[in-house]
Structure 1
Amino acid sequence: MSTATPAERPSALKIALLGVLQILSWGGSFYLLGVLADPIVADTGWPRQGVLAGASLGLLVAGLLAPLCGRLIARIGGGTVLASHGFFLSAGLWLMAVAPSLPVFLLAWALIGAGMAGGLYDALFTSLGATHGLAARPIIVGVTLISGFCTTLMWPLLAVLAHTLGWRLTCGAYGVVLLAIYPLYRYALVAPPAAAAAHHARGHGHPALAPSIYWPMTLLFALAAALMTCISIVLLTVLQARGHSLASAIALGALIGPAQVLCRIGDLVFKRQAPMATALLSSGLTAVGLLVVDFAPAWVAWGLVCYGAGNGLRAIVKSTLPLVVVNPADYAEVSGRMARPALIAQALAPLACGYLIAHLGSEAMIDLMATLAILAFSLCLWLAWVVARAARARELQ
């Protein structure tokens, strides 16, 4: 499958700026309640599960809107879509800051979810892929190297602000900061002039991608997203149930972050351009890592490093693998459609994890995650075979 005509590569300054903007967006949405949930519960008396449900609702809304964002990126360019998402995040944070009740608080998260659909990794990497084709890979890696420090930077900052200003003023002030997203994205992202014309020239039907490729790839991305979310929720619980102290569990969990960064640096250094091989490596490392965590407790540190390396490649795979099989003019729309199941899986994962741990225990939960990781690797092997067979068929035509 041909790739998009390469546009001018953004400068190192613009790549760094995109990484910083992602930190701001993730910090004001996906990772927000990691710090503010306790202050909100303490101040309002709302049920903790109800407060945490806000993040799930945001992800659900993001999943429902992801295909629309993909179509908009294809038609009007990623710069406009990415630049505009800050308005939704700001509106949601401002509504949250004045929310008098839990239903209004959840409505605020619906607005934040709309911003997440148009501004987090899925939208940005779709825009970069549609603009630069496979040449987007080093740009994406560069962005993730910077944005990977989101929690390292934003959680302490949010904690200080919440302690100093209170959670409501923190949300209001953050909403003001996010208004700066619009001009900065307009500067950092410029869509190719022919992007919209190419899309309209193809018409408005569903992009041509065989179901035998579309559905395994979509399910693979959804499984990977659900696994990442589940690990972030249950890892400390599993490790403590096995006898680790909280400090020891946190130290072991902290191995995942550096492993993710190192594997991305390795990808950038070696400049590999084989998305299918990267997908197999990512899903294989994830499966091996979780199997080690599950069945070899003495080697848990190495298992988490292996898992972290596999998960670190996940964002690269999700953004570049469709480029192997999708026409460039259809890439943005297909990516948007593929993003929906993954975001919905992330939205439902916390509820599923809580139910399974309560009824089956933490050991059954890690068994299930290892099984799902094996399933994802098997699915990736099947996908590699289907893609190779399709490529051979095109060569014979």
Structure 2
Amino acid sequence: MTDQRLPVYAILSLGLTQIIGYGTLYYSFSVLAPSIAGGFQATTEWVYGILSIALLAGGVLAPWLGKLIDRLGAAQIMTVGSAFAALALILCATSPNSLAFIVTLTIVEIAANLVQYGAAFALLVQIKPMVAQRSIVYLTLIAGFASTIFWPLTSLLLQWLTWQQIYLVFAGLHLVVCLPLHYSLTRTSKTTHDQRKNDDKEIASVAGALPQASRRMGFTVLLAAFSLQALISSAILVHMIPLLSVLGLAKSAAFIGAVFGPSQVASRMINMMAGKTLSPVNLAIIAASFIALSVMILMIGAPYIPAAILFACLFGFGNGLFSIISGSLPLFLFGSTGYGAMQGKLMSARLVLSAIAPFAMAFALKNTSVYITLAIIIVVSIAGGGLYFIIKQDLQSRALN
């Protein structure tokens, strides 16, 4: 009989490392960007342009890293990734000039692929494929606190430390906290990997809802949908505080932004308790709808604080659910075999497309109307939801036949 118990230790350990991974390598950047720009006597657009280049480099390498995760094991890759992330942050903090900063920030984003959701989801699938969808929900529930913790924490640290010193502190977190936790999971990962090779101890796997003949087209549609969704999420998350400030909410921006994190967690908690019968495809459509609706409310209601808070809540709901489906929907559609490589391909396309988001958003906010920018975001989000609907229609038509 298949063991249906959740890998609790793995979920809790990865929850903590994902909070640190996303907090130090992603969410902190929007807080530190003005200080980084000032240190290099550059504009914030330049800084976000460098981030775009770094994300692009990470996206190009993602498919190769995904195959490496399947071959060597996700826990092993994440252990090395923790050390690599610490080294990358140290190099970034000690960059002597702008050219060195470009190179080191690129290394930071490559390291992020080794320790963030793509690798963590693959580890949960490798440990227990049959309960991986539930494991992913629990993991994203914990990791949803990353922005809530690291936006205010980074702002607080910036009152006493330089951005370079903050990156050194963050490097210490990867070495002292993340590396030991990831290493502790290598034994479990090795055991399950060995079991798959042993016919007498073979563990169950997930088959996937799409038949082999439809998977190429299904993967293409899913890749496009994920890419559009990631483009929107990246643009808004990196510029959450600046966007609210442009809309006349500068004094309340930090408070409104802080609502985003708990909303992510709330959406995942609601899904965990009441969404057990909801398929990942329907969850994806709901997530895209929440994001589009949130931006509509912000565009119509700003600068009124209640409208902005509602925006942060709904955007948090949508983005929180998107984090779940980015791990559970590929597993549901294509199964657990080769999951790491599949996640690498999906991550690559998402990062390559969303790499333009930080710079494009910064440019748009400075040189065009903020309302035109928000209108484009709404259209793109609706398009992503439409692609999920195409996948749903395909599954329904196959079920009828």
TM over 0.5: yes
- CA drift of 1:263 comes to 1.1
**Contact between 1:138 and 1:271, CA under 8 Å: does it hold in 2?**
no
- Aligned partner of 1:388 in structure 2 is 396
- Aligned partner of 1:83 in structure 2 is 79
**Contact between 2:70 and 2:341, CA under 8 Å: does it hold in 1?**
yes
Aligned to 1:227, which of 211, 215, 232? 232
- CA drift of 1:288 comes to 2.9
- Aligned partner of 2:220 in structure 1 is 215
DSSP 3-state at the match of 2:26: coil
- Aligned partner of 1:256 in structure 2 is 260
- CA drift of 1:96 comes to 1.8
Structure 2, unaligned runs of 5 or more? 199-210
Q: Classify 1:235/1:111 alpha carbon distance in 2 versus 1 (closer, same or farther; 3 Å).
A: closer
- Aligned partner of 1:272 in structure 2 is 276
> When the two structures are superposed, what TM-score results if normalisation uses the length of structure 1?
0.84
**Equivalent residue pairs, number:** 379
- Aligned partner of 1:284 in structure 2 is 289
- Aligned partner of 2:119 in structure 1 is 123
Q: How does 1:115-154 map to 2 (within 5 A)?
A: 115-133=111-129, 135-154=131-150
DSSP 3-state at the match of 2:356: helix
Structure 2: distance between partners of 1:293 and 1:135: 38
Q: How does 1:57-206 map to 2 (within 5 A)?
A: 57-133=53-129, 135-180=131-176, 181-188=178-185, 190-191=188-189, 192-194=192-194, 197=197
Instruction: Work out the percentage of aligned pairs sharing the same amino acid.
Output: 24
DSSP 3-state at the match of 1:99: coil
User: Does residue 40 of structure 1 match 2:44?
Assistant: no
User: Does residue 326 of structure 1 match 2:326?
Assistant: no
- CA drift of 1:102 comes to 0.9
Q: Classify 1:319/1:134 alpha carbon distance in 2 versus 1 (closer, same or farther; 3 Å).
A: farther
**Contact between 1:260 and 1:310, CA under 8 Å: does it hold in 2?**
yes
Q: CA RMSD in A?
A: 2.9
**Contact between 2:239 and 2:358, CA under 8 Å: does it hold in 1?**
no
- Aligned partner of 2:203 in structure 1 is none
Aligned to 1:49, which of 26, 45, 70? 45
> When the two structures are superposed, what TM-score results if normalisation uses the length of structure 2?
0.84
- Aligned partner of 2:316 in structure 1 is 308
Q: Classify 1:99/1:293 alpha carbon distance in 2 versus 1 (closer, same or farther; 3 Å).
A: closer
Structure 1, unaligned runs of 5 or more? 199-206
**Contact between 2:243 and 2:365, CA under 8 Å: does it hold in 1?**
no
Which region of structure 1 is more displaced relative to structure 2, 280-289 or 115-124?
Answer: 280-289
Structure 2: distance between partners of 1:308 and 1:8: 29
Aligned to 1:370, which of 351, 367, 378? 378
CA deviation digits over 1:163-188, x for unaligned, max 9? 44533343334323322333311213
Which region of structure 1 is more displaced relative to structure 2, 117-126 or 54-63?
Answer: 54-63
Structure 1: distance between partners of 2:219 and 2:331: 12
- CA drift of 1:324 comes to 2.0
Structure 2: distance between partners of 1:376 and 1:169: 40
Q: Classify 1:386/1:35 alpha carbon distance in 2 versus 1 (closer, same or farther; 3 Å).
A: same
Which region of structure 1 is more displaced relative to structure 2, 98-107 or 28-37?
Answer: 28-37
**Contact between 1:67 and 1:337, CA under 8 Å: does it hold in 2?**
yes
Equivalent residue letter for 1:188: L
Structure 2: distance between partners of 1:343 and 1:268: 28
